[in-house]
């Protein structure tokens, strides 16, 4: 490697450094899209795990995000690899005619950095070696070699494929960047993805646990609801039984009160009847005694008359009682 660097011309060394810079720039430009793609995929997996019913829409959005993120890497490749060299080469091809016409007008074009400068350098080299272009034309072999050198100056470089030194330096930069990413970048990304996977797995386990808790709570609630319905039915049946018993008690009490009132009324009637009979007996006895005294014209013994009247009244009462019984 050191011998290769020692044999490299200063201009080629600068070009090599430019290639390394372009490779590093593109590598750094590709790191961001790579991390972005990882984030997009991780978030998509998490979303599909949380909401499986929207997996189709999430998957489509994930692919669009990957496409847009990958486009950044392509833009970085164009900016750092293709654009500078393609632009310079197109400008060089477009300026061939002007460079050839202005080659003899200014010694500044002899620096060897342009096609015109390359032509002037070959002409000066031929004049120094053969003295003049006429002497060069006399030597057919040398003149043919001079024409080939001029054709090499005006040959346009490839707008796509880089030079060999650029490939070497770019490949070296890529190997260095790849080794660094393999050493530092990829393990970090893997750890992040593993952590993300563990988090998603933990979220899924937590969701399963929450679902199991919800099902258990639902079962307990349904059991409590069934117990409440059973208790309510028992309370209603007990209330109905108590209402029936209370109705029967009230009915029995009312019948007893009615019977007692009937007995009391019968007793009152019997007492009133006896009182009326006694009062009637007294009044009738007095009337009968007065009537008898007037009829016979003499006083009768009150006790005798009372006994007669009482006997008559008792007969009448007995006859009335027998008539009621019949």
Task: Please list the pLDDT of the chain residue by residue as tens digits (326 residues).
Answer: 444 444 444 445 556 556 665 566 556 656 666 666 677 777 777 777 776 766 677 677 777 766 766 666 665 555 544 444 444 444 343 444 344 433 333 333 333 345 556 667 777 777 777 777 667 677 777 777 777 776 666 554 544 555 666 667 767 777 887 788 788 777 887 888 888 888 888 888 888 899 999 999 999 999 999 999 999 898 998 888 888 888 888 888 888 888 888 888 888 888 888 888 777 777 766 666 666 665 554 455 666 666 666 666 666 566 555 545 44
pTM of the predicted structure, to 2 decimals? 0.29
Q: How many whole angstroms separate alpha carbon 274 and alpha carbon 320?
A: 13
pLDDT value of position 241: 87
Polymer length in residues for the chain = 326
Q: What are the C-alpha distances in Å from 23 to residues 2, 183, 190?
A: 21, 18, 24
pLDDT value of position 159: 47
pLDDT value of position 10: 45
Angle at 254 between CA 249 and CA 255, to 5 degrees: 100
Q: How many whole angstroms separate alpha carbon 47 and alpha carbon 37?
A: 15
Name the maximum alpha-carbon separation found in the chain: 220
pLDDT value of position 88: 41
List of residues 6+ apart from 301 with CB closer than 8 A: none
List of residues 6+ apart from 24 with CB closer than 8 A: 173, 177
pLDDT value of position 195: 86
Q: How many whole angstroms separate alpha carbon 61 and alpha carbon 44?
A: 8
Query: Distance from first CA to last CA of the chain, Å, rounded?
Result: 156
pLDDT value of position 86: 44
Residue found under tokens 């197109």: 90
pLDDT value of position 14: 54
E strands in the chain? none
Contact 163, 15 (CB under 8 A): yes
pLDDT value of position 283: 72
């Amino acid at each position: 490697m050191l011998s290769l660097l020692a044999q490299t011309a200063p201009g080629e060394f600068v070009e090599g450094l430019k290639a390394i810079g372009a490779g590093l720039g593109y590598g750094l430009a590709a790191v961001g899209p790579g991390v972005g793609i990882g984030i997009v995929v991780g978030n998509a997996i998490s979303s599909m795990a949380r909401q499986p019913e929207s997996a189709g829409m999430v998957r489509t959005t994930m692919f669009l995000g990957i496409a847009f993120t990958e486009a950044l890497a392509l833009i970085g490749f164009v900016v750092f690899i293709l654009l500078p060299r393609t632009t310079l080469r197109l400008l060089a091809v477009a300026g061939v005619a002007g460079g050839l016409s202005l080659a003899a007008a200014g010694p500044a074009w002899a620096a060897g950095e342009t096609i015109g400068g390359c032509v002037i350098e070959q002409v000066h080299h031929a004049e120094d070696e053969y003295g003049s272009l006429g002497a060069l034309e006399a030597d057919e072999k040398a003149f043919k070699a001079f024409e080939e050198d001029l054709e090499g100056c005006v040959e346009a470089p490839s707008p796509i494929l880089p030079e060999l030194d650029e490939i070497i330096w770019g490949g070296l930069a890529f190997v260095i960047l790849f080794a660094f990413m393999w050493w530092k970048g990829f393990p970090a990304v893997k750890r992040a993805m593993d952590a993300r996977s563990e988090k998603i797995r933990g979220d899924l386990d937590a969701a399963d646990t929450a679902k199991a808790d919800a099902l258990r709570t639902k079962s307990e609630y349904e059991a409590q609801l069934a117990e409440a319905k059973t208790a309510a039915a028992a309370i209603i049946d007990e209330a109905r039984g108590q209402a029936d018993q209370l109705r029967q008690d009230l009915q029995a009490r009312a019948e007893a009160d009615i019977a007692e009132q009937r007995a009391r009324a019968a007793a009152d009637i019997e007492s009133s009847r006896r009182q009326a009979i006694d009062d009637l007996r007294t009044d009738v006895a007095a009337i009968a005694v007065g009537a008898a005294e007037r009829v016979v014209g003499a006083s009768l013994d009150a006790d005798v008359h009372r006994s007669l009247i009482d006997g008559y009244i008792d007969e009448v009462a007995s006859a009335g009682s027998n008539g009621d019984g019949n």
